[in-house]
């Protein structure tokens, strides 16, 4: 059996200073980056691993565009079996979805073009409202010949994933199970969100554990092998994890087959919100993490900078002298990792004055007609009325509260189909000025997102500003509003 995930006694045994990992974690918390988990693998052994409560090693997590790299591996398995070829035309598999007149650029598009994100489109072809995402790829007017320019396009992966499922006749994760996923111990209950037409959303929808992602990264790091067994051809992995096309993102280091190139001969799986697996074959090293930093730019901002400045430069080529004291501090830090609440004061002179007071809101972008805040010790409740009805959301003050967000019409297992329940979330609030309360909501369900609200009080008036970063939901929670206190209702 492989020794992957067998922890070393000290990170130094794997050539990684405990001090470097500790600095990385301290910086993540100091910058209040919303990280959920990390692990460091060296030579197939676990040098360090940790999770920010309430996240755990066993908890399934949305991987967003890391899913694309998983689809690439499924394509590689089909190529190994001779059921698919890099130069196959994509249109071959979609006779039922093609328009009467197919544009020559689309007719020329190959599987390899799709893998390289060098489609003839300059942007994604589908929206959340389209009933058939794969079909839009062939219906949208292209802008340039395929195979020429890198343009990140999740629809390309939707097409690839659909090809896999049409050839195999089963969802792509199910196809991969006996060939790759089961041999590496990939979670049996891992799954994938579906597109509106009912295929797996391989472009963004895989939900699995951080360790699952790291296991797939380890297969790629080792040329398709796991525990001495060649699960996917070395030829395909070598091509997938090497530069196939120049790109204008990621410092122009290049792109492989749904896999990004990194500095120092590395490659990576990358997903929105900082789902990462950075792999460095020459160092036999993997850093993987899960998080939600949506809105922080395409590179993951703080996490990537912290990794490259605090951890990566200090990896040694051989084992280091053990550092028991720093290792002890590191383990203590890891044991106490937790998602941090909204920063600020836990009390204000305004709290008692406005607690329970209803405010009648002017017409506003959020459609909130009436609202109030109620404070009860180290918790509070935000009650409000909007277009979807009466709602209440409990939040911690100076701490996190685990809640269900009070909207039930957001998507569930399939895009376009309401889930019928509130998304799980972590809520907190704090006074950032004497008269100003900030509310922070982290959505932590099968979909991740962040909503922030500022409530500012001035005499008998209230000002509200809301912003959100979330794909396909929380649209009602963005904008400005003003209101005036009602005279009648207060809580004593």
DSSP string across 248-313: SSGGG--B-SS-EE-GGG-EEEEETTTEEEEEEGGGTEEEEEEE--TTS-TT-THHHHHIIIIIGG
How confident is the model at residue 302, as a pLDDT?
Answer: 86
- Residue 220 covered by a domain: yes
Same domain (yes/no): 205, 304: yes
- Residue 120 covered by a domain: yes
Choose one of 304, 335, 366: the last residue of a domain: 335
Same domain (yes/no): 320, 242: yes
Q: Are 19 and 317 in contact (CB under 8 A)?
A: no
How confident is the model at residue 6, as a pLDDT?
Answer: 83
H or E element: which one contains 404? strand 401-404
Same domain (yes/no): 137, 35: yes
Q: Are 33 and 302 in contact (CB under 8 A)?
A: yes
Q: What is the mean pLDDT of residues 359-374?
A: 98
Residue 112 has pLDDT above 70, yes or no: yes
Q: Are 423 and 406 in contact (CB under 8 A)?
A: no
Same domain (yes/no): 301, 373: no
- Residue 6 covered by a domain: no
Same domain (yes/no): 65, 192: yes
pLDDT tens track for 302-358: 899 999 999 999 999 999 999 999 999 999 999 999 999 999 999 999 999 999 999
Instruction: Please report which confidence band the pLDDT of residue 250 belongs to, taking 50, 70 and 90 as the band edges.
Output: low
| Angstrom distance (rounded) from CA 306 to CA 27 | 7
pLDDT tens track for 85-104: 999 999 999 999 999 999 99
Average confidence score pLDDT of the chain: 95
- Residue 2 covered by a domain: no
Residues with Cβ within 8 Å of 80's Cβ and at least 6 positions away in sequence, in order, are 232, 233, 236
Range of the domain at 434: 349-485
Crossing angle, helix 18-30 and helix 324-335, to 10 degrees? 30
How confident is the model at residue 82, as a pLDDT?
Answer: 98
Give me the CATH number covering residue 35. 3.40.710.10
% of the chain beyond a pLDDT of 90? 94
How confident is the model at residue 248, as a pLDDT?
Answer: 76
Closest CA to 190 of 164, 208, 203: 208
Choose one of 308, 335, 362: the last residue of a domain: 335
- C-alpha torsion 355→357→359→360, nearest 10: 160
Same domain (yes/no): 199, 262: yes
> CA 468, 354, 436: angle at the middle one, nearest 5?
45
- Residue 421 covered by a domain: yes
- Residue 88 covered by a domain: yes
* Backbone φ, ψ for residue 60 (5° rounding): -75, 145
Same domain (yes/no): 396, 295: no
Closest CA to 128 of 410, 429, 428: 410
Same domain (yes/no): 49, 76: yes
Give me the CATH number covering residue 362. 2.40.128.20
Same domain (yes/no): 106, 255: yes
- Residue 99 covered by a domain: yes
What are the strands, taking DSSP E only, across 434-491? 436-444, 448-458, 461-470, 479-485
Choose one of 306, 335, 364: the last residue of a domain: 335
Same domain (yes/no): 308, 376: no
| Angstrom distance (rounded) from CA 460 to CA 437 | 16
Same domain (yes/no): 407, 307: no
Same domain (yes/no): 250, 385: no
Instruction: Please report which confidence band the pLDDT of residue 264 belongs to, taking 50, 70 and 90 as the band edges.
Output: very high
Domain count of the chain? 2
| Angstrom distance (rounded) from CA 231 to CA 143 | 38
Residue 218 has pLDDT above 50, yes or no: yes
């Amino acid at each position: 059996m492989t020794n992957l995930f067998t922890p070393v006694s000290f990170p130094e045994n794997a050539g990684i200073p405990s001090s470097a990992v500790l600095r990385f974690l301290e910086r993540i918390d100091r910058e209040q980056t919303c990280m959920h988990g990390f692990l460091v693998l060296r030579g197939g052994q676990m040098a360090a691993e940790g999770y920010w409560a309430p996240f755990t090693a066993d908890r399934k997590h949305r991987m967003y565009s890391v899913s694309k790299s998983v689809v690439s591996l499924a394509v590689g398995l089909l190529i190994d079996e001779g059921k698919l070829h890099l130069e196959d035309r994509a249109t071959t598999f979609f006779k039922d979805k093609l328009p009467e007149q197919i544009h020559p650029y689309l007719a020329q598009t190959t599987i390899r073009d799709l893998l390289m994100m060098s489609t003839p489109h300059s942007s994604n072809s589908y929206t959340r409202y389209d009933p058939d995402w794969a079909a839009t790829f062939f219906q949208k007017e292209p802008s340039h010949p395929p195979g020429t320019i890198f343009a990140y396009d999740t629809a390309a992966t939707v097409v690839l994933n659909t090809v896999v499922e049409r050839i195999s006749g089963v969802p792509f994760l199910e196809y991969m199970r006996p060939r790759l996923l089961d041999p590496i111990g990939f979670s049996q209950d891992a799954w994938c969100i579906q597109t509106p037409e009912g295929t797996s959303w391989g472009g963004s929808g895989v939900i699995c554990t951080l360790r699952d992602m790291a296991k797939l990264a380890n297969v790629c790091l080792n040329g398709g092998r796991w525990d001495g067994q060649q699960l996917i051809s070395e030829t395909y992995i070598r091509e997938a994890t090497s530069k196939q096309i120049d790109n204008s993102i990621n410092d122009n280091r290049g792109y492989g087959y749904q896999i990004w190139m990194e500095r120092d001969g590395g490659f990576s799986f990358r997903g929105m919100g900082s789902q990462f697996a950075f792999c460095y074959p020459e160092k036999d090293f993997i850093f993987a993490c899960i998080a939600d930093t949506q809105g922080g730019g395409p590179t993951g901002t703080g996490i990537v900078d912290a990794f490259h400045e605090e951890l990566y430069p200090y990896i040694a080529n051989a084992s280091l002298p053990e550092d028991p004291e720093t290792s002890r501090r590191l383990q203590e830090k890891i044991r106490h990792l937790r998602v941090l609440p909204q920063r600020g004061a836990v009390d204000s002179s305004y709290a008692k004055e406005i607690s329970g007071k209803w405010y009648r809101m002017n017409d506003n972008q959020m459609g909130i007609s009436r609202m109030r805040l109620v404070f009860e010790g180290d918790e509070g409740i935000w009650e409000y009325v909007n277009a979807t009805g009466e709602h209440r959301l409990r939040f911690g003050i100076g701490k996190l509260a685990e809640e269900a967000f009070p909207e039930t019409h957001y998507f569930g297992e399939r895009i376009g189909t309401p889930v019928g329940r509130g998304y799980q979330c972590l809520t907190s609030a704090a006074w950032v000025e004497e008269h100003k309360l900030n509310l922070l909501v982290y959505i932590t369900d099968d979909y991740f997102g962040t909503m922030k609200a500022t409530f500012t009080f001035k005499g008998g008036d209230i000002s509200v500003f809301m912003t959100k970063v979330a794909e396909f939901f929380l649209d009602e929670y963005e904008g400005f509003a003003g209101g005036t206190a009602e005279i009648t209702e207060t809580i004593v």
